Amino acid sequence: MERTQITMNNPTMKNNSNDAPAVQLRQVSKVYESSSGSFTALKDINLRIQPGKFVAVVGKSGSGKTTLLNVLAGIDRPTNGTISVDGTRVDLLSESQLAEWRGRTIGLVFQFFQLLPTLTIAENVMLPMEFVKIIPAAEHRSRALELLERVGIRNQADKLPAALSGGEQQRAAIARALANNPPILIADEPTGNLDEATRTSVLELFAKLNADGRTIILVTHERDISGYTDRQVMLVDGHVAEDFQR
């Protein structure tokens, strides 16, 4: 059977219906092969997330949380099943298409910040704008400063990451994730390296971004964040064990 060519401007890729989910996984599995045998990280995951929701994916280490994040963001490919994010069938995209799609659609926030140490905070925030040509080059710095103002660290713009506290670096990482105004933010253990007070301030920042209408999927081993989220999905051994919605 002939396979339809998928391109980034192909209108068949995207469903812009108002009731379309932001994220939909159908029967998604991920199996890793190694010399010692196969390991199933995800097992028949079915998940539907509506736009504008704040969802926490919780579970112990090894439960499949990070693998789920990776297949959602197109960093890894599922072994079986289909993945639609913001109306695009992510599992059908080529590597080059994935890179462009990810830059426009997904903002990623990591536990260890992953700021480039030789660039200033403003330059780190500008970097995604240079890779995805959405925002005119002349506006890159002003947008970076605007985003840093929004996350509360405008005064740190011209410092290197090492000069900032862990909480400030995580705020810078969130600003960078917002650089191209993606509709979806995915955060992998974003508070795992922070003290309690800083953790609370970062969660409040995510809640504020969600209140503005952005879909947020936060992967964490913590279960006590229900006050911030609309929904908690618990993974156990690679499958959805519980799904709580408020």
pLDDT of 18 higher than 70:
no
Q: What is the pLDDT of residues 67-118, one digit of tens each?
A: 999 999 999 999 999 999 999 999 999 999 999 999 999 999 988 889 999 9
Domains of the chain (ranges, CATH numbers): 51-78+86-245 (3.40.50.300)
Q: What is the pLDDT of residues 24-67, one digit of tens each?
A: 999 999 999 988 889 999 999 999 999 999 999 999 988 999 99
Task: Judge contact between 184 and 24, C-beta under 8 A.
Answer: no
pLDDT for 223: 67
Q: Report the amino acid identity of residue 149.
A: E
Q: Of 225, 145, 216, 139, whose CA–CA distance to 184 is shortest?
A: 216
Pairing mode, strands 54-58 and 80-85: unpaired
Beta bridge partners of 186: 108, 217
Q: 17 pLDDT exceeds 70?
A: no
Mean pLDDT of the chain: 89
Backbone angles phi, psi at 119, to 5 degrees: -105, 150
Cβ-contact 183, 105 below 8 angstroms = yes
Where b means 16+ CB within 10 Å and e means fewer, 49-62 reads: bebebbbbbbbeee
